[in-house]
Structures are given as C-alpha cells and as structure tokens.
C-alpha cells in the first residue's frame, strides 16, 4: 500500500478516490474538509470502481474531520471489505486533506 499525506482536489459532481494503492490494504484514513463546500464521502471495496450515488454518504462540512483512528469497516459498515474512500464536492470545487498509512 502506498502511504499518502496530501491535499486532494475534489471536483463538484465527480467521485475522486482519496486513498492510494490498488492493493486494497487501506484500513483507516483521516480526511479533513479544507475547502469551502460540503464533501460527500463513500467507501468501496474495489480500487477502480467509484460509488454510483451519494446515498448514505458521510458528509463533511468545511473544517470537519473524519478521524483516522476509526476503521473504514466501522465507517462504511454496509460495504464488504471496504478499502477505498472516495469524495465528491456538493456544488463547487473542494479540497480534502488526506492521510493514511
């Protein structure tokens, strides 16, 4: 798995993968909304497969943090073997600060 500690641009209306590495080994990830619009977060099990809707998303308002000490399995309990986090900005270009091992 490739470690990541960076800011990621999140376009409006388009899912952007926040986790790195195609090996499906990410188990926890800290995300902070450092932009000015709401970010929707979803988890998936597959590296190249983006979510199909925003239903059930975690919503991060500007300044909100999804803590890195909670596992992805706990955050996205409805997704079997979740290993990737995706974000979509609600209406304007957003920015997510992301860190994972």
DSSP E strands, the chain: 4-10, 16-17, 30-33, 39-44, 58-60, 65-66, 84-89, 94-100
CB 10 within 8 A of CB 93: yes
- Mean of the per-residue pLDDT values of the chain: 88
Per-residue pLDDT band for 1 (boundaries 50, 70, 90) equals very low
pTM of the model: 0.89
CB 100 within 8 A of CB 25: no
> Has residue 19 got a pLDDT over 90?
no
CB 96 within 8 A of CB 18: yes
Task: Give per-residue pLDDT as tens, 66-93.
Answer: 998 888 889 888 888 888 899 999 899 9
CB contact burial 33-46 (16+ within 10 A = b; e otherwise): bbbebbbbbbbbee
The CATH code that applies to domain 4-100 is 2.60.120
């Amino acid at each position: 798995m490739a470690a990541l500690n960076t800011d990621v641009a999140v376009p409006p209306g388009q899912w952007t993968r926040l986790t790195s590495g195609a090996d499906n080994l990410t188990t926890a990830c800290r995300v902070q909304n450092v932009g000015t619009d709401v970010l929707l977060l979803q988890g998936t099990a597959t590296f190249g497969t983006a979510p199909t809707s925003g239903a059930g998303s975690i919503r991060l308002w500007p300044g909100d943090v999804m803590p890195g000490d909670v596992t992805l399995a706990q955050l996205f309990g409805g997704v079997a073997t979740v290993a990737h986090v995706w974000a979509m900005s609600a209406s304007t270009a957003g920015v997510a600060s992301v860190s994972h091992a």
